Amino acid sequence: MRIDEKLTEYVVEQVVRLVKTPSLAGHTDQAISYVEQELTRSGIKNRRTGRGALLATLEGREPGPHRALTAHVDTLGAMVKEVSSDGSLVFTPVGGYALGTVEGEYVTIEPGSGKPLRGTILFDEPSAHVSKKINDTKREFDNMRIRLDSEVHNEKDVARLGIAVGDYVHFDPRCEVTETGFVKTRHLDDKAGVACLLGSLKALADSGTRPRLTTHFLFSTSEEVGFGASAGIPNEVTELVAVDMGAVGKGQESDEYSVCICAKDSTGPFDYALRQRLVKLCRSKKIPFKVDIYPFYGSDAAVAVRAGLDAVTGLIGPGINASHNLERTHRKALAATVRLILAYVMGEK
């Protein structure tokens, strides 16, 4: 199936819209509703699972074992842990990230009651003209705070704004699409994967094409906290491919212009026969690809297997630079990922 510039532009547009839709783990309904609307617009039947994920199913042309692909809408963020005596907020992470990647970031605090409020994540002694600690102190959650952009002097002032322990804190995505084809923003993990699934489903729907075998598409909601695809995948599935980021960095094969096929992550090797089939599809379709190993990586594929899914698994995704940081990919990687998804869905058993 041919992937034209119009479809690539659709995928890029979906990335932009998705990263601007807040969806921390545990609070993903807005993003799931958006994906639901896109699928419905394309005429694709879908349903919510008990855990709030979204499952779309395309009937196959032939009988046989089912396949599944999954991507997750949940992202990194924070939650209010404590209100300090000076009115600043102590926060706890949602998902895993280094504090240096969020220091200085603008955030939106979503109170349980009242309107959203703005703030900034800072070291608790952030002024270079006042404190010498700013250069030498290791950043830890005990010495990081959210400075509210409201006049507050104490806990009571903060309480009057409606802010309380447990309120969600959303990082600004800082999304930008460059003239040179890069998409740079927070939360490409895994909104880029979600966008690639949406693009693939749109291509199938617009062309009236059915996959060879019945294929399920799961949009999970809690991968960043370790149990995204633990439920929701039908028992008939015997092969699962997670669509998540390819991690670009020193010592890695992955780049920002290719679809990345993971041979092994922190949980161990992926199924060899499935990996070889994915590589063969890339070669036969002339899809730019890289095979790589990610030593500090886990995905919904491993989560599903740990939860009891009796299936072989694989992992693919667009190459993304600076994972869990200010991430960046290229439209070439997005297009390559969609091409591989479609080749896989339409291809051999």
Percent of the chain with pLDDT over 90: 95
**Residue 84 — left, alpha, or beta (φ > 0 → left; ψ -120 to 50 → alpha)?**
beta
Q: Examine the domain organization and report whether 210 and 342 are in the same domain.
A: yes
Residue 164 sits in the same domain as residue 247: no
Please give the Cα distance from 70 to 73 (Å, whole number). 10
Whether 208 maps to a domain, the answer reads yes
Q: What is the pLDDT of residues 318-329, one digit of tens each?
A: 999 999 999 999
CA-wise closest residue to 87 among 152, 164, 163: 152
Residue 14 lies in a domain: yes
Residue 180 inside a domain? The answer is no
Task: Please indicate if the annotation marks 224 as binding a ligand.
Answer: yes
> What pLDDT is stored for residue 1 in this prediction?
66
Question: For residue 70, how far is the Cα from the chain centroid?
Answer: 11
Domain assignment of residue 177, yes or no: no
Same domain (yes/no): 69, 143: no
Choosing from 36, 38, 105, 223, which is the catalytic residue? Answer: 223
240 and 286 fall within a common domain: yes
Q: How far apart are CA 42 and CA 198, in angstroms?
A: 9
* Structure token digits, residue 344: 């896989």
Residues 91 and 169: beta-carbon distance below 8 Å: yes
Total domain count, the chain: 2
pLDDT, tens digit, for every residue of 233-284? 999 999 999 999 999 999 999 999 999 999 999 999 999 999 999 999 999 9
Q: How confident is the model at residue 114 (pLDDT cuts 50, 70, 90)?
A: confident
Residue 229 placed within a domain: yes
In a domain, 181, yes or no: no
Does the residue 69 lie in any domain? Answer: yes
The answer on 294 and 211 residing in a single domain is: yes
Give pLDDT, residue 348: 59
Task: Give phi and psi for 136, each to the nearest 5.
Answer: -110, -10
Q: Does residue 193 sit in the same domain as residue 330?
A: yes
Tell me whether strands 66-72 and 215-220 are parallel, antiparallel or unpaired.
parallel
Q: How far apart are CA 141 and CA 131, in angstroms?
A: 18
Choose one of 142, 171, 200: the last residue of a domain. Answer: 171
What integer pLDDT is reported at residue 152 of this predicted model? 98
In this model, does residue 2 exceed pLDDT 80?
no
Domain enclosing residue 24, as ranges = 5-75+187-346
My answer on whether 118 and 153 are in the same domain is yes
Going by their DSSP bridges, the two strands 312-321 and 144-148 should be labelled as unpaired
For the entire predicted model, the pTM comes to 0.97
What are the residues whose beta carbons fall under 8 Å from the beta carbon of 257, sequence distance 6 or more? 288, 319, 330, 332, 333, 336
Residues 240, 311, single domain; the answer is yes
Task: Determine whether the annotation assigns residue 292 to a binding site.
Answer: no
> Would the pLDDT of 349 be above 50?
no
- Among 143, 171, 199, the domain-final residue is 171
Do 149 and 233 reside in the same domain of the chain?
Answer: no
> Both 290 and 196 in a single domain?
yes
Say if residue 60 is in the same domain as residue 202: yes
Split at pLDDT 50, 70, 90, the class of 347 is: confident
Q: How far apart are CA 119 and CA 109, in angstroms?
A: 7
Phi, psi of 107 (to 5 degrees): -135, 160
223 tagged catalytic: yes
> CATH code at 291?
3.40.630.10
- Is 146 a domain residue? yes
pLDDT in tens, 282-318: 999 999 999 999 999 999 999 999 999 999 999 999 9
Amino acid occupying residue 8? T
Residues 290 and 161 in one domain: no
Domain boundary (171, 206, 233) is at 171
Name the pairing type of β-strands 54-58 and 215-220.
antiparallel
pLDDT digit string, tens, across residues 177-231: 999 999 999 999 999 999 999 999 999 999 999 999 999 999 999 999 999 999 9
